[in-house]
Amino acid sequence: MRWPACLLLLFSVVTARSQDTVRTMFPAVRGLHEMVGAANNLEVAAGMRMLAQGGNAVDAGVATVLAATVTEQSRVGLGGEIPILIKMKDKPVIVISGVGVAGSKATVQFFDHRTNEPWEQPGRIAPIPAIGPRAAITPGLVDGVLLALEKYGTMSFGQVAAPAIEYADEGFPIGEEFAEFLAELTQYHAFWPTSFRFFYPNGVPPKRGEIVKMPALANTLRQMAAVEPKTKGDRAAKIRAVHDLFYKGAIAAKISDFLDSNGGLITRDDLAKFHAEQDEPRTTTYRGYTIFKPGFWSQGPVMIEALNILEGFDLKKMGHNSPEYLHTLIEAVKLAFADRDRYYGDPKFSKIPEQILLSKAYAAERRKLIDPAHASMQSRPGELNASVAMVGGNGKSSDKDTTCVNAVDREGNAFSATPSGAWIPSVIVADTGIPLSVRMEVFVTTPGHANQLAPGKRPRVTLSPTIVTKDGQLVLTMSTPGGDNQDQAMLQTLLNILEFGMSPQEAVEAPRFQSSHFYNSFGFHEFTPGRVSIEGRIPKPTIQKLIDLGHLVQPAADWSNTSAPTVIQVIGGVLNGGADPRRARYVFGR
């Protein structure tokens, strides 16, 4: 049988196109006007609702964050913390630090003499507890989103909180992860009656898809929204009244009274003095793009240091996820994390050698330390004489986590955030539904270290949203959960886009590595030399080559990387979304 020439030509074109098309697990999401990416459909719906009502990206981002503090308490709660990056159209990128501080009673001396908490194994305790009231810092998330809303949003707190109030009041179908965590952590919540009543009103963990209501949290959010119409003045004055209620008024009184009764280290005065802050982003350039990250009170500059090192290599020539490429990235990440572990901390309390760490000249010297034939097994920070060495413990820390929110509106304004903290198992402040953060455990007690605990100091968080521009115009926003893994996962995702031309969805789904060659940010702060987890979709010969180079490879499942970014990229007026299916991320645009 002879085929007509036109059909043969059509078959050849279709075959060629199918070979070029990458099938993704989550369908491509594109739009012309606005887009929101987050952890679930309820959070994204909250943000899109603000945009449909005429709000901007900041309004949408704040509404999405507040919805997450209801529907995703497995990863974030109202008592948590948040760094935010905002880029308004034709304006510079700004940073908001919504990260709380150690209470005035939180001292190294206090923790040096602490005894076992009831849930800790005798003789195996971390320097600072990982859960419980004594692990709490002041809530930072609330004032972080209020500052963003006041300065860069257009709506009232009542408007942006409306979806969260509805979810808490009317109920929402609980997701798989949240339900699974509640089932696994029942024994911890049993230590605090307020938590057990809040999470298990029927005495047992809810099953996935079951409708969950949080009336105490709904009432707290409703109280906050009700302050605005009672307050005289402009929109900013009304939003500041919400701050005062939470940090100085009736809600603050409930938080401080509860902590006083349960051995907490935060006072009423600590709450009253706390304010989120606007900050300058830390930046670098890479192949003509400008990358913006939060400052050294976060993990953000790790990506900047790694990109500065990698800019000296021809990564595209190496080939995506080739042995040479993966080895080079892993070794660059090790060097960046070594500096994090030695020098990063709250700049208000510690002298950070910022200009050196962020410089291209410093990166050129660091680049020379990468041996193409051998994997490094040491932590090798630069010799900058600015902080003492990190001291690791012998225990095994549990992985902590977070969530992510990204929003872009029709005007080109952008919001990127990494809301976190107050995850379960959490202590619920009586009658408020507010879970306390446990971020205190990120501090170290080593004298002279940049991240040493001190009253009023921010812990160096792992939270690290990202904005990228070119010639001053927005290119993409990106953030992810993943604890210590955040910046190495986003680094790989960003390179997938900038170096290899992947779409955001292809970029977040591509197989990744996850190095553990750093001092853990949590718990015992243990150092794990050389270990790297490699997803199973990376070919076995590539994995074997990495083993031959000396990497301590842990073969992992195909979709096991613990980070899960959402990305919104702008190309020619089109918004292109990416949502990592590893952790059921969600993105929608129109």
pLDDT in tens, 138-161: 999 999 999 999 999 999 999 999
Q: For helices 360-367 and 301-310, what crossing angle results, to 10°? A: 60
What is the side-by-side order of every strand in the sheet holding 29-31? Answer: 29-31, 574-579, 566-571, 473-479, 466-470, 289-293, 282-286
User: Does residue 167 belong to any structural domain of this protein?
Assistant: yes
Can you tell me the distance from the alpha carbon of 281 to that of 91, in angstroms, rounded to the nearest whole number? 13
DSSP state of 263: T
Q: Span 92-112, mean pLDDT?
A: 97
| Residue 11, pLDDT score | 40
Give the per-residue pLDDT at 20: 56
The whole-number pLDDT of residue 394 equals: 79
**CA quadruple 146, 152, 157, 161: dihedral positive or negative?**
negative
Cβ-based neighbour number of residue 115 at 10 Å: 7
* Residue (of 560, 484, 487, 572) closest to 528 by Cα position: 484
The tens digit of pLDDT for each residue in 463-497 reads 999 999 999 999 999 999 999 999 999 999 999 99
Average pLDDT of the residues in 373-385 = 96
Residue 99: φ, ψ to 5° = -110, 125
Q: What's the CA gap between 98 and 103, in Å, rounded?
A: 16
Enumerate residues 6+ apart whose C-beta is below 8 A from 92.
Answer: none
Q: Is 485 left (phi over 0), alpha (psi -120 to 50) or beta?
A: alpha
What is the mean pLDDT of the segment spanning 545-556? 97
Q: Do the beta carbons of residue 499 and residue 318 sit within 8 Å?
A: no
Given a cut of 70, whether residue 511 has pLDDT beyond it is yes
Domains of the chain: total: 1
d(CA 66, CA 49): 13
- Contact between 35 and 568 (Cβ < 8 Å): yes
User: What pLDDT is stored for residue 122 in this prediction?
Assistant: 82
Mean pLDDT across the chain: 95
Does residue 519 form part of some domain? no
Cβ-contact 462, 490 below 8 angstroms: no
Residue 4 pLDDT exceeds 90: no
Q: Which amino acid is at 291?
A: I
Tokens of 435: 């879970």
Q: How many CA atoms lie within 13 A of 454 on its CB side?
A: 16
Domain encompassing residue 218: 39-279+424-442
Q: Under a CB-based contact definition with an 8 Å cutoff, are residues 421 and 77 in contact? A: yes
| Dihedral pair phi/psi, residue 222, rounded to 5° | -65, -40
Residue type, 271: L
- Residue 10: the pLDDT is 38
CA-nearest of 62, 22, 294, 248 to 162 is 62
Mean pLDDT of 49-74: 98
The burial class, CB within 10 Å (0-12 / 13-18 / 19+), for 587 is buried
The structure tokens listed for 157 are: 């707190």
Of 557, 545, 137, 573, nearest to 327 by C-alpha is 545
Amino acid, single-letter form, for residue 391: V
* Domain-located, residue 12: no
Query: How sure is the predictor about 21, in pLDDT bands with cuts at 50, 70 and 90?
Result: low
CB atoms inside a 10 Å sphere around CB 217:
25
Q: What's the angle, vertex CA 495, arms to CA 490 and CA 496, rounded to 5?
A: 95
Nearest to 567 by CA among 512, 471, 497, 473: 497
Per the domain annotation, does 352 fall within a domain? no
Can you tell me the distance from the alpha carbon of 69 to that of 88, in angstroms, rounded to the nearest whole number?
A: 25
DSSP string, 50-93: HHHTT--HHHHHHHHHHHHHHHTTTTB-TBSBEEEEEE-TTS-E
CB 379 within 8 A of CB 338: yes
Q: E strand or H helix at 425, and its extent? A: none
Contact assessment for residue 416 and residue 405, using Cβ atoms and an 8 Å cutoff? yes
Query: What confidence tier does 13 reach under pLDDT thresholds 50, 70, 90?
Result: very low
DSSP string, 120-169: SPTT---SS-SSSGGG-----HHHHHHHHHHHH--S-HHHHHHHHHHHHH
- Is 210 inside any structural domain? yes
In a domain, 225, yes or no: yes
Whether pLDDT at 2 is above 50:
no
Distance between CA 418 and CA 298 in Å, rounded?
A: 11
Is position 284 within any domain? no
237 — pLDDT class (breaks 50, 70, 90): very high
Closest C-alpha among 118, 112, 122 to residue 131: 118
CA-only gyration radius of the chain, Å: 24
Over residues 559-574, the mean pLDDT reads: 97
Structure pTM?
A: 0.95
The answer to whether the bond into 206 is cis (omega within 30° of 0) is: no
**Per-state percent for the chain, helix, strand, coil, to nearest 5:** 40, 15, 45
- Examine residue 259 and state whether it is found in any structural domain, yes or no: yes
Determine contact, residues 351/331, Cβ cutoff 8 Å: no
What is the arithmetic mean of pLDDT over 67-75? 97
Is residue 444's pLDDT more than 80? yes
Q: What angle do CA 237, 240, 244 make, to 5 degrees?
A: 130
All residues at 6 or more sequence positions from 214 whose CB lies less than 8 Å from its CB, including other chains: 70, 168, 169, 198, 433
Q: Largest Cα–Cα distance of the chain, in whole Å?
A: 88
The CA distance from 417 to 151, in Å, is 16
The arithmetic mean of pLDDT across residues 190-203, rounded, is 97
Distance separating alpha carbons of residues 83 and 486, to the nearest angstrom: 13
How many Å apart are CA 275 and CA 148, to the nearest integer?
A: 12
Helix (H, G, I), strand (E, B) or coil at 537: coil
320 in helix, strand or coil? coil
